[in-house]
Amino acid sequence: MEPQPAIDPYDSAAAADARRTVETVFRIEAPRVIAAVARLVRDVGIAEELAQDALVAALEQWPRDGVPDNPGAWLMATARHRAVDLIRRRENYARKLAEIGRDLETTAPPQEPSALYDPDDIDDDLLRLVFTTCHPVLSPEARTALTLRLLGGLTTPEIARAFLVPEATVAQRIVRAKRTLATKNIAFEVPYGPDREARLGSVLDVIYLIFNEGYAATAGDDWLRPALCEDALRLARVLSGLMPKEPEVHGLTSLLEFQAARTAARTGPSGEPVLLKDQNRSRWNRMLIARGIEALARADATATGAPGPYALQAAIAACHAHAYSYEETDWKTIAVLYGLLAARSPSPVVELNRAVAVSMAEGPGPALEIVDALASEPALRDYHLLPSVRGDLLARLGRTAEARMEFERAARLAGNARERDLLLSRADEAKAGP
**How would DSSP label each residue in 209-268?**
HHHHHHHS-SSBS-S--HHHHHHHHHHHHHHHHH-TT-HHHHHHHHHHHHHHHTGGGSB-
Report residue 301 CA to chain centroid gap: 27
pLDDT for position 126: 78
Determine the Cα–Cα distance for residues 291 and 288; give it in Å rounded to an integer. 5
3-state secondary structure of 416: strand
User: Is the whole model's pTM more than 0.75, yes or no?
Assistant: no
pLDDT for position 312: 98
Determine the Cα–Cα distance for residues 84 and 106; give it in Å rounded to an integer. 12
Is CATH 1.25.40.10 the right assignment for the domain spanning 338-434? Answer: yes
Amino acid at 197: E
Q: Give the mean model confidence (pLDDT) for residues 373-398.
A: 94
In sequence order, the β-bridge partners of residue 267 are 273
Express each pLDDT in 186-196 by its tens digit.
Answer: 888 888 788 87
Determine the Cα–Cα distance for residues 286 and 281; give it in Å rounded to an integer. 10
Identify the residue with better confidence: 77 or 355.
355
In sequence order, the β-bridge partners of residue 416 are 220
Topology alike, domains 12-108 and 338-434:
no
pLDDT for position 301: 97
Is CATH 3.10.620 the right assignment for the domain spanning 12-108? Answer: no
Which letter does DSSP use for residue 268 in this model? Answer: -
330 burial via Cβ count (<10 Å: 0-12, 13-18, 19+): middle
131 burial via Cβ count (<10 Å: 0-12, 13-18, 19+): buried
Express each pLDDT in 7-54 by its tens digit.
Answer: 454 456 666 777 787 777 887 788 888 888 888 888 888 999 999 898
User: What is the helix (H) or strand (E) element at residue 207, kind and residue range?
Assistant: helix 193-215
> With 60 as the cut, is the pLDDT of residue 109 above it?
no
Amino acid at 73: A
pLDDT grade for 113, boundaries at 50, 70 and 90? very low
Average per-residue pLDDT in the chain? 84
Highest mean pLDDT among 88-102, 235-249, 365-379: 365-379
The values of phi and psi at residue 273, to 5°, are: -65, 145
Identify the residue with better confidence: 84 or 371.
371
Alpha-helical segments (H) within 42-115: 44-65, 71-89, 93-100
Are the CB atoms for 391 and 429 separated by under 8 Å?
no
Q: Give the mean model confidence (pLDDT) for residues 348-358.
A: 96
Give percent of the chain above pLDDT 90. 42
Neighbours of 14 (CB within 10 A): 16
Are the CB atoms for 273 and 418 separated by under 8 Å?
yes
- Going from N- to C-terminal start, the domains of the chain cover 12-108, 338-434
Are the CB atoms for 422 and 223 separated by under 8 Å?
no
Report residue 331 CA to chain centroid gap: 27
